[in-house]
Amino acid sequence: MRFMFVGDSMTIGRAGDYTWRYRMWQHLCATLGDSFRIVGPRSALYDAAADAPVSHAYADPEFPEDARRHLAGWGEGWQHMAPLIGPAATAAEPDVLLVSLGLIDLGFYTDAPQTAVNVRRFIARARAARPGVRMVLLPVIPNVRADYDAPFAAQVAHFNELLGKAVADLSTPASPILLAARPQGYELARDTYDGTHPNASGEHRLAAEFASALHQAWAVGGPYRAAADADA
């Protein structure tokens, strides 16, 4: 089974991070053994000094190069990934897309309805490249801006409703789509390093939601075992 991680800054991570991709890779290793691969066109982390995705300084240097693959970018959202997913899926041939997008769109580029249109474009283009691809989509999770900006919080809530509707409308037996849960008990002070980007605890919580969706709906993998409040 071939997995592709798709996301924004929370998924690509910055130099020195483990990333939730790493936590998910650990989980898949523990539950699927060697029967899976991580695929994607990119492998680097974001480097703040260079303001570019050029770092390979993962917190665990033993994280295998082939498991670092992804389609994620700092400052990239649904509108950026919709044009990229077709070529990426054609080249990498993923069976499952694990997608965490939306916050950057709503924060800088598009409102909730426009973002939902880009979700549907993304799904259509992924399926055009891989007709039987499965997808797990994560709603926009708690973030610091939503705590102080009421209109933005309303856009997040509206988008998450539209995302759920898109999943209900577009999921098919041939190409099923799951809506993962927002991480239960996610706390900005505990689970992020800046109110938005996950720290070690947050990484585990994000990975756990994807793992739970895969296991409960499709019997892929098993329960997520890592402690949600682990430091590393």
**Average confidence (pLDDT) over 15-32:** 97
pLDDT at 226 over 50: yes
C-alpha–C-alpha distance, residues 112 and 154, integer Å: 9
Indicate yes or no: pTM above 0.85.
yes
Q: State the pLDDT confidence band at 229, using cuts at 50, 70 and 90.
A: very low
**Average confidence (pLDDT) over 36-41:** 98
pLDDT at 40 over 90: yes
Domain 2-218, what architecture?
3-Layer(aba) Sandwich (3.40)
Domain extents in the chain? 2-218
Token pair 């997995």 is found at 3
Backbone angles phi, psi at 17, to 5 degrees: -80, 155
Backbone angles phi, psi at 54, to 5 degrees: -125, 0
Q: Which among 38, 53, 43, 41 has a CA at the least distance from the CA of 4?
A: 38
| Residue 90 CB contacts under 8 Å (≥ 6 apart), including other chains | 129, 130
Q: Which among 3, 62, 53, 66 has a CA at the least distance from the CA of 32?
A: 3
Q: Three-state SS for 125?
A: helix
Q: Which among 69, 177, 165 has a CA at the least distance from the CA of 130?
A: 177
pLDDT in tens, 139-188: 999 999 999 999 999 999 999 999 999 999 999 999 999 999 999 889 99
Backbone angles phi, psi at 115, to 5 degrees: -65, -40
Q: State the pLDDT confidence band at 232, using cuts at 50, 70 and 90.
A: low
pLDDT in tens, 83-108: 999 999 999 999 999 999 999 999 99
